[in-house]
Chain A
């Protein structure tokens, strides 16, 4: 989707491996989010960053860390991947007020 770029698109990890999911935006929005999507469960918020230099936990933060590197970039790190982290991960951004979220196209992660 225009404005939010996620890399990689696909990744397969073995249990215990680590990786970082990258997200970059070109819409100059302050707020950035990481969600995970699992069948039958909708999307659940992992972490978010309301502005550069701040991060906060969402609904399901355990097993993840984040870094808001600058206004454009917000990364999600799995230090020791577990099969329960097999999911599709979406980065999203939002402007001020009641702006809707803009989503990236997602990273499909499989942990074996």
Chain B
């Protein structure tokens, strides 16, 4: 069965420092992987996705993520955090064998707190 794990409930980082939000997955075959961000009282917003190709993918707002097949990980990174990056982040996976686009399996979410 497919699954996604975000091992940290909360990540705290100082503004200007690099940040990493961790995600590991379990899926048969080659996964499609996604990161979403949620600000308070809003829906989720798409940040980036990995389908195939380069292991480092770049997305919105300066975020990037590194796909590591051997470690089954897809960690979200940013070189220099901003206070405005503080939000709830979700990793999600889709079985590429699924015929339906939106049937994603989500991790439980990681709260990112960036302090000035």
Among A1, A40, A95, which residue has its beta carbon within 8 angstroms of that of B108? Answer: A40
For window 37-93 of chain B, which residues contact chain A by CB distance below 8 Å?
Answer: 41-46, 49, 51, 90
Number of A-B contacts (CB under 8 A): 72
Q: Is the CB of B43 within 8 A of A43?
A: no
Chain B interface size band reads 20 to 34
Q: Is the CB of B107 within 8 A of A96?
A: no
Q: Is the CB of B106 within 8 A of A43?
A: yes
Who on chain A is nearest to B48 by CB? A100
Instruction: List, in ascending order, chain B residues with CB within 8 A of A1's CB.
Output: 42-43, 45
Among A50, A99, A100, A105, which residue has its beta carbon within 8 angstroms of that of B43? Answer: A105
Minimum-distance CB pairs A-B, first 8: A103-B43, A42-B106, A100-B46, A94-B102, A94-B101, A43-B106, A42-B108, A103-B44
Q: Could you show 5 A-B contacts with beta carbons less than 8 Å apart?
A: A92-B44, A96-B101, A97-B101, A101-B46, A101-B102
